[in-house]
Structure 1
Amino acid sequence: MVKEKRAGIVNDTCIHQFDLRDVVLKKYKHICQYCGVKGNTIDHIVPRSKGGKTAFNNLVCACEQCNTEKGDLGLDCFLSIKKSK
């Protein structure tokens, strides 16, 4: 879990497990990385259905609307669709 950045070593005998969702939301200050409004969900940049992992470097904060619209689209595809709206 430490290697996957889901936990941190406190000392020789204690490891603290992080709530990955909370860490991601705090990292992005609850701002949707796709449209800039308040976000309350996390999104896999590379969808799990396309081999994306639930890892810190593959997660961003998203609003519910963007998360739903993105679905299992890849990032480039979703952004090009969003840009054309």
Structure 2
Amino acid sequence: MAGIVHEKLIHKYYNEKTFKTLILQRDNRKCYLCGKYGDTIDHIIPKSKGGISSFQNCCCACEDCNRSKGNLSLERYLYYIRNFREASYH
């Protein structure tokens, strides 16, 4: 996570390890997507779709959810999960 001071100076607030630790602590290591234990962070708006690594755009995730969500938006991923679960019950 960094901020642009001016066009030739970028100030880095946290290194990757510290940033990850802060997100995991904030979310009590609980996966935002399924509620299980989480040890990775995920971007709510994927980086491939313009999302940035910020406290507002990152959340704790478990390995399974992080892997299966891929580059889907949070809304799209939850839509597929809900419909898949409903379809598997019928």
Could you state the TM-score of these two structures normalised by the residue count of structure 2? 0.75
**The residue matched to 1:56 in structure 2 has which SS?**
coil
Q: Distance in 1 between matches of 2:19 and 2:55?
A: 7
Deviation of 1:60 after TM superposition, in Å, equals 0.2
- If you compute each CA radius of gyration, which structure gives the higher value, 1 or 2? 2
| Structure 1, gaps ≥5 residues long | 8-16
C-alpha deviation, 1:57, in angstroms: 0.8
Letter in 2 for 1:38: Y
Runs of 4+ displaced beyond 3 Å: none
Q: How many residues align structurally? A: 74
Q: Is 1:26–2:33 an aligned residue pair?
A: no
Q: Give the equivalent residue in structure 1 for 2:48.
A: 49
Cα deviation code 1:19-39 (max 9, x no counterpart): 100000000000000000000
Structure 1 position 63 matched with structure 2 position 59: no
Give the root-mean-square deviation of aligned CA atoms. Answer: 1.7
Offset at residue 2 of structure 1 (A): 6.7
Q: Secondary structure at the match of 1:38?
A: coil
Question: 5+ unaligned residues in a row in structure 2: which ranges?
Answer: 5-11, 86-90
Q: Percent of counterpart pairs with the same letter?
A: 38
TM-score normalised according to structure 1 size: 0.79
- Residue 76, structure 1, aligned to residue 75, structure 2: yes
